[in-house]
A and B are shown apart, each in its own frame.
Chain A
């Protein structure tokens, strides 16, 4: 039944005629490493299928029998000792251990209506818990800012400046690139439409309003949410995994004062600056594309821009960015502080943090658009 070219230690069963009936000889290496070969286990099980525990078994010629191999035999025997069994003492010890420790598989849990209902309830409570702890985080931040106002010299200023550099300064190249390209694309697309109506000069209005009031702050916020929001969650999450958060609490240092507040403040300062920078780059890109596709000179563009965009838009864009920054920091910290000490939770927390901060940025942007629709236009 087995081809001759197979090496000698392939696990196999051979039937040998004997006076008392058929005798089953277990041969080869019955080890997990051997079972790893593809299709071998299937063939072996096919060979085992015809055997029964009441036949005579001879294990003495097997080269090696490890616990996985013994488990396979034991299961084949229906978890009982064959009445006629010949084996070496060492094999006996392995089989005895397997026999002693094999336990019945637990029954698979069925999903019931009640179970699904309870799971839904648990999910709602979980969401409520998230909301509660987020509100608590905001409250704690307000209290901490009060503390800081009373004793400014005790503030974590080194952290604050460090975060401004890491979150703000190092994000300048990527935000510039993305802003510039979006400006170019937007200008090209609108210029094609505007040329049909001969309304070439209005490209300044469209680009000005769209980029300064909406796209600039929004693009910057989404980029920073992806870049720094995830970093904040991962940093704080790793501190949880390595017990650093507990160490901090034992020293009597508040997490929110030392970890959350500097990040929130840094983002509140850095976010409007990045947003202005992104807007400027996008306008530069738009200006270039307008010059190429419509022949609108940069001089005209710059002269027309102040008339097209009222000053209120700038204030709106900046205040929006401050809110985005604080929200990104708070969401990052919120998910970071909720990380459980294991790698899976860290990954989930980081993903959840980025997804929710981008969602929240877009939601809040829509809210601003509705609330301030009278401003500027």
Chain B
């Protein structure tokens, strides 16, 4: 689904030159839930934005669904790739339903009754109520914003879904609810999911594979158990610290395969 080869990302300021990625390789298979983890400043979000074509890498190639990433942004991109931004990025001037219907409406060929119904179906699939469709994004809670944004990302049933910190800023209850929703959608819609997250609970509950970005490249991309067994200072700190131990309980309770 996604193939990243020999990727270099270099940011230059007048004083200094930052190499964020150096010869980074990553492949994502169909049906996977791949989580990208790494310390802050390790370029996880940059990587996600490069997969989306929002940023151009300095060197290297990215293929998404077999095409170079530059060709994704054309008309109907919403049918190929869906993105859930960290803060939802709902259009604040539109109601929730208009937000969800927006990619379909922009095709300009579908009758508006059909667009409305299709948006209504997606609205309810993510666990919102039909009445919520008329609300404005400013009137929604954090969890509802994420759900509405997810519905918008999925409106054209893209095979690939990208998530940036899907549970950041949610309380534990809505976070759990959202993770359950993501898991059921992944199963029902046969999605391939790539996500960036810091939340270990989310990480262990959803991922079928974890890619760790450190030292400017992917040091390991493997199922969670193998990642934990990998010897690296970052992995040790990240997963085996006190915080990690707590989340690790989940490993015993939940099976990984989703």
Contact = CB atoms under 8 A, between A and B. Distances in A.
A105 B111 CA distance: 14
Interface string B123-154: 11100001000001110000000000000000
A75 B116 CA distance: 12
A37 interface: yes
Given A33-B76, A35-B109, A68 B104 contact: yes
Nearest to A68: B118
Interface in A34-87: 35-38, 40-41, 66-68, 71-72, 75
B120 interface: yes
B110 interface: yes
A342 interface: yes
Contacts of A341: 92, 138
B64 to A, nearest CB: 15
Nearest to A344: B93
Interface string A150-162: 0000000000000
B110 A75 contact: no
Given A97-B125, A105-B113, A343-B93, A35 B107 contact: yes
B156 A75 contact: no
Interface string B70-82: 0000011001100
Contacts, number: 82
Given A97-B125, A103-B130, A32 B117 contact: no
A31 interface: yes
B79 A33 contact: yes
Interface in B16-33: none
Chain B interface residue number, banded: 20 to 34
B114 interface: yes
A68 B107 CA distance: 13
A342 to B, nearest CB: 3
Contacts of A342: 92-93, 136-138
A72 B138 contact: no
Contact of A32 (B92, B111, B156, B188): B156
Interface in A83-108: 93, 97-98, 100-103, 105
B217 interface: no
- Most chain B CB atoms below 10 A, which of A35, A36, A93: A36
A75 B80 CA distance: 25
Contacts of B93: 342-344
A340 interface: yes
A93 B157 CA distance: 14
A102 B120 contact: yes
A98 B80 CA distance: 21
Contacts of B79: 31-33, 36
B251 interface: no
Nearest to A41: B109
Given A32-B156, A36-B76, A342-B93, A102 B117 contact: yes
A72 B104 CA distance: 13
Nearest to A42: B109
Contacts of B120: 101-103
Given A38-B109, A98-B121, A105 B92 contact: no
Contact of B110 (A35, A66, A67, A344): A35
Given A36-B107, A36-B109, A31 B157 contact: yes
B118 A37 contact: no
B239 interface: no
A340 B137 CA distance: 12
Nearest to B104: A32
Contacts of A35: 107, 109-110
A71 B114 contact: yes
B91 interface: yes
A32 B116 CA distance: 13
B186 interface: no
B138 A340 contact: yes
B103 to A, nearest CB: 8
B184 to A, nearest CB: 11
B198 interface: no
B209 interface: no
A67 B138 contact: no
A102 B111 CA distance: 16
B92 A67 contact: no
Contact of A93 (B91, B122, B155, B188): B188
A68 B156 contact: yes
A73 B88 CA distance: 31
Interface in A305-358: 340-344
A32 B138 contact: no
Given A68-B114, A102-B120, A342-B136, A36 B75 contact: yes
Interface of B: 75-76, 79-80, 91-93, 104, 107, 109-111, 113-114, 116-118, 120-125, 130, 136-138, 155-157, 188
20 contacts: A32-B110, A35-B109, A35-B110, A36-B79, A38-B109, A68-B110, A71-B117, A71-B118, A93-B188, A98-B121, A100-B124, A101-B121, A101-B125, A105-B113, A105-B116, A105-B117, A340-B138, A342-B138, A343-B93, A344-B93
3 shortest A-B CB distances, which residue pairs? A342-B92, A344-B93, A33-B79
Interface of A: 31-33, 35-38, 40-41, 66-68, 71-72, 75, 93, 97-98, 100-103, 105, 340-344
